[in-house]
Amino acid sequence: MKYRLMDILACPECRNFPLKLIVLEREEYDRKLELKKPFCELYCSFLDKNVKDVGDKAPCDKCIRYEIVTGVIYCTKCGRWYPIINTIPRMLPDKHRKRKEDIAFLEKYKDKLPREIVYEGKPFNLSE
């Protein structure tokens, strides 16, 4: 997943924007940006700031080189979390999520994720 995807994602359950990105693993590639900066329109997840606060100092040339392999997309409004596995964000509504897979993800990364996701996150967490 590319950082710039966060510029258009909203929570499937409550429609909150922007969402918080937690990167656990990323890979770097030799890519060059050939577009005008800033590339994102509203939200720069690379800096975790609104684009209007970043202005022409946006690090688009650096951001474009990364692919997020593993991480979590977190909604601070409703407490839902969505895993990023093998570069694919799994942003499914609650009714389509698989408890067993989500719990296994939390178990594997519980030492690298914030407590509010691991023990209080929705729809599944490790305190259940």
Query: Any idea what the CATH number is for the domain that residue 85 is in?
Result: 2.20.25.10
Per the structure, the complete domain to which residue 67 belongs is given by 3-91
Q: Is 28 within a domain? A: yes
Question: What are the helix and strand counts (H, E) for the chain?
Answer: 4, 6
98 part of a folded domain: no
Q: What percent of the chain has pLDDT over 70?
A: 98
pLDDT number for residue 92:
94
pLDDT at 34 over 80: no
Q: pLDDT, tens digit, for every residue of 36-60?
A: 778 889 999 999 999 999 877 888 8
Query: What pLDDT score does 111 carry?
Result: 97
* Residue 19: inside a domain: yes
The predicted structure's pLDDT at residue 31: 82
pTM, two decimals, is 0.92
Quick check: is 107 in a domain?
Answer: no
Burial classification of residue 68, based on how many CB atoms lie within 10 Å of its CB (0-12 exposed, 13-18 middle, 19 or more buried):
buried
